[in-house]
Chains A and B, each alone.
Chain A
Amino acid sequence: MSRVIATLIALVAALPVSARAAEGGLDRLPTLAEAATPAYPEVARSGGYGAEVALVLDLDVRGEVESATVSAARAVDRAGAPAPAPVLAAFVTAAVEAGRRLRFTPAEAEGQPVPVSLTYTFTFMAPAPQVPAPVPTATVAEAPPAPPAGQVSLQGEVRAAGTRRRLAGALVVVKQGEDAFETTADAEGAFRFYDLAPGPWSLVVDVPGFEPDRSEEELRAGEVLEVTVYLRRASDNPYDVVVEGQRPQREVTRRILSAEAATQVAGTMGDPVLALENLPGVARAGIGNGRPVRGSSPQDTRYYVEGLGILFDEHVGGFRSVLPSQMVERVDFYPGNFSARYGRGTGGVVDVKLKDLKPDQLHGALDVSLLDAGLYLEAPLGDEVAVAVAGRRSYIDAVLGAAIPDDGDLSLSVAPRWYDYQAIIQWRPNAQHDLRFFALGGDDAMTILFRSAADLDPEATTGSIGAQYNYQRLSVQHRYTSGGALSNDLRVGVGRDTGLTQVLGRFSLQFRFLNLSVRDEARWKVSEALTIIAGLDLRTEQAKYDVTSFRPPKEGEVVAVLPPADEFIHGVGQDTQTSVAGFVEAEWRLARALTVVPGARVDYFGLTRSAHFDPRLVVRYQLLDAWTFSAGVGLVHQAPELDEVIAPFGNPAVDPSRALHTSVGARWQPLDFFSADVTLFYKRLDHLVSRVDDADLYRNEGTGEVLGMEVYLRQELAFGLSGWLSYTLSQARRTDAGATSSRPFDYDQTHILTLVARYALPADWALGVRWRLVSGRPTTPFAGGVFVDERDGYEPIPGPTNSGRLPSFHMLDVRVDKRWTFDQWAFTAYLSVSNVYNRANAEDVEYSYDFRTKSNVAGLPLLPIVGVNAEF
């Protein structure tokens, strides 16, 4: 039986809510439905011992505890001295007994209740010498049990300071002289004490991961004292452990970046999508040029938001993704051998999962940095509806404008600037239905003015290079869970993309894309051993374009100078294409440790009017608890680029290209918070669209091979430290049409090493670092040039394609955070420094006018960015 492993930390009687919840493949996390308070062992009373006992609870599909085993325990007296073994054993016994009585709401993965494992910690507070019997604990059941007879004397709620989110499961103790009572806050963070004597009482509230709160309260006869206790997160707690959950993968390799973890990565401005560049299999393409994945071009990787495709995932310049981190639950990254649910791209797949909205009241965040400012708000509208809105506007244009000298050769009339907005409305009328509306839009623009256009290009007619891009998306998602074996996920989206690019009055591209996406995915759990997924993926797009251009350079080609005017072509047209795919996949557990995931996908591409069959297979084998082995093989087809097909730029007869993905992997997870992955992969590409010298212009005669190994060592937050080390060793080559030998791929980078680490320091300081070491990417050298009178300049004589290589890239980024937490809100200031030792990394090669002398074009220098974030 498959088991979803999700390890959470909890204390006393419930899971702390979302902030410390597991990330990963669960659509819905288990929440405490019925608390249980362990009996304080009599043997420990005389010594005044306290204890922490961490249990691993195996929950079944109904959320009931199947088994409770001890993962860690310690007991100390008031002075901190360890307790004798019998005392510790008594605490363990009490904790296990209580753990078995806990009940949770079922966890869900992809719409289905699934079994999970979680870590759950009981904390025993050292009691006063005589402790009356505890008051029964309230529960999170919709109809809570009737309170015991008596009058409420003290009641309150426990919230996280800063975010004001309610904290379930807090241990609440009141003391007055020899009297002490304890209770547990319910799922709403509420607690009550009855029939307390008037007078001063000490109130102690404790939740793991938070600093305990102690206060003195004065109770008066006949009155009910109401208190709200705000607990501050103890981020430097050495026992603080947050582990990302994992569902059983259908893929050989799936990397998960939780939004919470990614926001702490140095060098990526806290953006979970941008943090992808730190994962194994992702090469460097230069600033703002996208992400090559496992030897495929950046445009061969598909980006989705909740399964619906988006054209670009980041704003101009690559500093921000198009989604705010507050709306993102996690980012799933599949570098290859992905599920049959995905297709149309021979590179990787990035699927951004949005957060389920569960606000208990108005929450928000304001983020201001040197680059931009963003605002996020979320609020409940009644019990069933929640809304969230966000927006961001950059002002990097003003910063850059001030940085560029007035007497320089270039000026920025519109420096890179972007704005975006997002909105979510989520309606959950009952446990079966979940309806979500999602809107996304934005606008990017950049214009550079040059003092003399003719200096840049003899045939230039204007002195400006500019681009503007606008995108709008609206989608509706309906998730249905029968509560039994069936679930369905329907998504319908519409989008509009418009853009205009102009270069020196010679090149221009104006386009408008309208698209409609429909995606439906049904899941049927036939038995405990077999689950079948089937779906439909339709996308229709109308493209309207007006372009004046030479034939765009393809992979392996380089444009050193703009071609002469007679090589420019003007094309105007409108084209509507529909692509539709059907897919089916089974997750079949053949034995307890062996799972096979066969799948198939049929893609029809309107652009080429052709249909293609893509079989996929993944096999997984679990050895003991710590080792998992997997292997996968599958085909993927990808439609050619529009310009490769439409006249007069391309050849209408070209077909989709094809990739055969194969990989084998091993995962070792000796500890909850540490894992090591190694994946070997081989990708065979054929039918690649390749330029030819005859009238066909392009034919499917290119091939490619990619071979490599990925290593991924990851430590979740433990002992204040979190981070990962990723290393990719690979070789990617291409063979062009008519060529007799292969050559390096444009983004072939033999070694890619990335170290990401964050350490939580005392007093809410945090230090994050990122260090990268990457082989330089290939370049095509020029063996001088020939003066051409009509061009009033030189034409380069290219050497063998990609026979040169840029120097290695290495860079250190550092981020320092300081957080101040108040009761109602929290404030964070940060300093992010890119390229700390100011290395002049070569991003490209620039040649002299006669192509005899070359110089490296350096990338980002040391760049400090400060920012602040306020949340409430």
Chain B
Amino acid sequence: MRLATRSACALLGVVSACAGDLPAYNEVHGLRVLAVSATPPWVPAGQPSALATLVAGAEDATYRWRWCPVPTRADDGHACPVEAQADLPSLALGEGPEAKLPAFTQDALRRLCALQGQATCEAAEVEIALTVAAAGDQIEARRTVTLMAASEPGPTNPEIVEVELRTEALQTALSTAGLALPASAEAQLRLEAAGATEGAMTVSWFVTGGELAFARTRPEPTGPENTWTLPDQPGLARLYVVLRTAEGGTTWRTFEVEVEAP
């Protein structure tokens, strides 16, 4: 960091804005969990929810899914403080890249609410825990799923309709793979979404190479747009785009770009 900037940061006490050489959140190197989704995130009574995760940086990762009936605490390492309950589904949910939170009966939901100390039981949040391991590294991840007493559907996951890429020479909708771009090219990215109210939408952008203008974009002031300066060396670069809503919806798309020598 430049001396002048260090001076300013020290004077201002703006610690987080003046961090030195720590890894950036939106640059993917090694094993990363970028998102955990539940479909649906608000689960109507008697329905299951499909669980999935966006993992980057590992082809042969192992997965272990659990759920916990009560909230966990950071100072306890987010360990689930209760054991399996006889009248609730098993806390273990599977060991694949995807899993399923089973359907809760009304009795099970009431039991859950009682465990959480709720006098009434219109809905109960449960915590989904995921452990991802690969090549000696391990990441813990959590997300919340809301179980509803009602059978009507609640908020759903949003949908990424398209991610448009535009350079000086090209304008195209990104596909999963097959696009080649010159090294160090500056690409304008724009996400088109459905199923999300724009004001509640957050887009998180991740790349394995090159540099992004923003780690996250929101409707104000940046909008669902970003700029990706591609790596200056040839090779494969990945772009991960995660779309979230304020109601707990999560979805994502992954793209590959072949970076060529200019």
Question: Residues of A contacting B8 with CB < 8 Å?
Answer: 400, 403-404, 412
Number of chain B residues close to chain A: CB under 8 A: 53
Q: Which residue of A lies closest to B75 (CB)?
A: A798
Interface residues of B in 207-242 (CB under 8 A from A): 213-218, 220-222, 242
| CB <8 Å contact, B141 and A403 | no
State in angstroms the CA–CA spacing of A396 and B37 once bound together: 48
Given A452-B215, A796-B74, A846-B19, also A790-B143 (CB < 8 A): yes
Name A796's closest neighbour in chain B (CB-CB): B74
- Chain A 94-125 interface 0/1 with B at a Cβ cutoff of 8 Å (1 = within): 00000000000000000000000000000000
- B137 CB to nearest chain A CB (Å): 10
B217 near A454 (CB under 8 angstroms)?
Answer: yes
CA distance A863 to B11 in the complex (A): 11
How many CB-defined contacts (below 8 Å) exist between A and B? 145
CA distance A556 to B66 in the complex (A): 32
Interface 9-residue window, one of A128-136, A179-187, A651-659, A848-856: A848-856
Interchain CB contact under 8 A, B216 and A789: no
The verdict on B82 contacting chain A, using a C-beta distance below 8 Å, is: no
Q: List chain A residues, Cβ under 8 A from B202.
A: 454, 458, 792
Q: B11 near A789 (CB under 8 angstroms)?
A: no
A860 and B19 alpha carbons, distance in the complex (Å): 14
Q: Is there an interface contact between B17 and A463, defined as CB atoms closer than 8 Å?
A: no
Taking CB atoms and an 8 Å cut-off, the chain B residues in 93-142 that contact chain A are 139-142
Chain A interface residue count, Cβ-Cβ cutoff 8 angstroms? 55
8 A-B pairs with least C-beta separation: A454-B216, A789-B143, A403-B4, A787-B141, A849-B25, A789-B36, A848-B22, A786-B140
* B179 at the A interface (CB under 8 A): no
Residue in A closest to B142 when the chains form the complex, CB atoms: A788
Q: CB distance A861 to B142 under 8 Å?
A: no
The contact of A846 among B10, B16, B37, by CB within 8 Å, is B16
A859 touches B10 (CB 8 A): yes
Complex: A846 Cα to B143 Cα, angstroms? 25
- Closest Cβ–Cβ distance, residue B106 to chain A (whole Å): 26
Footprint of A on B, CB under 8 Å? 2-25, 33, 35-37, 74-75, 77-78, 139-144, 202, 204, 213-218, 220-222, 242, 244, 248, 250
Taking CB as reference atom, which chain B residue is nearest A396? Answer: B11
Residues A787 and B139 in contact, CB atoms below 8 Å apart: yes
Given the complex, which residues of A lie within 8 Å of B12, measured CB to CB? 317, 400, 412, 415-416, 446, 448
Report Cα–Cα, A465/B25, bound state, in Å: 21
Distance between Cα atoms of A463 and B221 in the complex (Å) = 9
For A793, the chain B residues whose CB sits under 8 A away are 25
Taking CB atoms, residues of chain A closer than 8 Å to B144 are 790
A795 at the interface (CB under 8 A from B): yes
Residues of A within 8 A of B4 (CB): 403-405
Confirm or deny: A84 has a beta carbon within 8 angstroms of a beta carbon on chain B.
no
Residue contacts A-B, CB under 8 angstroms, 20 given: A400-B12, A415-B12, A452-B214, A454-B215, A454-B216, A454-B217, A455-B214, A458-B202, A789-B250, A790-B144, A798-B75, A846-B19, A846-B20, A846-B22, A849-B25, A855-B21, A857-B15, A857-B18, A859-B10, A860-B10
Task: Give the residue of A317, A409, A797, A848 whose beta carbon is less than 8 angstroms from that of B11.
Answer: A317
Bound together, the chains give a CA A288 to CA B18 distance in angstroms of 17
Pair B10/A287 contact, Cβ less than 8 Å: yes
Chain A residues, Cβ within 8 Å of B22: 846-849, 853-855
Instruction: Enumerate chain A residues within 8 angstroms of B78, measured Cβ to Cβ.
Output: 786, 795, 797
* B214 and A408 form a contact (CB under 8 A): no
Q: Does A858 contact B (CB under 8 A)?
A: yes
Give the residues in chain B near A288, CB-CB below 8 Å. 13
Q: List 9 additional contacts besides A405-B5, A858-B20; criterion CB under 8 Å.
A: A286-B13, A452-B214, A452-B215, A454-B218, A786-B141, A787-B139, A790-B248, A792-B216, A846-B22
